[in-house]
A and B are shown apart, each in its own frame.
Chain A
Amino acid sequence: MGKLRVLSIKGDRTVMWDQKQAETGDPEAEEAVREAERIFQEALRNGATAFRVSAATPATRIDRFDPEADQIVVVPRVAGG
């Protein structure tokens, strides 16, 4: 299962998808992948930055939605304080 976590004032919003199920043609699974990708792209359009994270390895910035990722965390736009 893939997980997209978007940080916000309410804590993280989580969207999950099953890429393997989507590859079998399951319409609900395909829709879940599309929904995650839509949220990902909308966040990046608003200036957010996305990171692919996995256990025991440093985070990696990504600019394209990766349905194969275990987990993606989206950080809202930042500025110098």
Chain B
Amino acid sequence: MMELQQGPQLLVLACILTFVMVWKLWCHYYLFPPQDLDPEAEGRAAALLREMLSDGEHQQLLQTGYLTVPSRRVAGRVYRVPGRPGWVDVYEADRLAMRVCVEPVEHLPQADVVLMHKLMIEGNEQDYMRTANIVYVRPPAGQRWRRSQH
């Protein structure tokens, strides 16, 4: 009898714990992204990113908040790298096909993370996609669902 009464309580407790964990993760990544405490490092990273981007790419990042990096392996695929912490959206034939998450193992200033994505996609796309956690949104236009596209 006691076990039957404790069942719903445990379920409620589990739900509350799950909610708290999801809330903390959401806050951590979207509301209060981790800030580098070293403004000098942030400044150096921003300067390096500016140096590595063309004028057009820099303007795009400032105006839209993301950097578009075209795939060199898959025709019609582009990666939208956010200027803030978050997922990289992958578009195929102008449709959102998947969202990928790749992070440096050690903390980097945010501008360096944007540069990391750009370099990895341009120069090492196959390993980048192999490493990434991928959430498939939809199959490319004219194709059916498949397990892997990279």
Binding site for B on A (CB under 8 A): 5, 7-12, 47, 49, 51-53, 56, 58-61, 73, 75-81
Contacts and interface: CB of A to CB of B under 8 A. Distances in A.
9 contacts: A11-B41, A11-B48, A12-B44, A49-B119, A56-B54, A59-B118, A79-B131, A80-B132, A81-B101
Interface residues of B, number: 35
A49 B122 CA distance: 13
Interface of B: 36, 38, 40-45, 48, 52, 54, 72, 101-109, 112, 115-116, 118-120, 122-124, 127-128, 131-133
A9 B41 CA distance: 7
A78 B123 contact: no
A8 B108 CA distance: 6
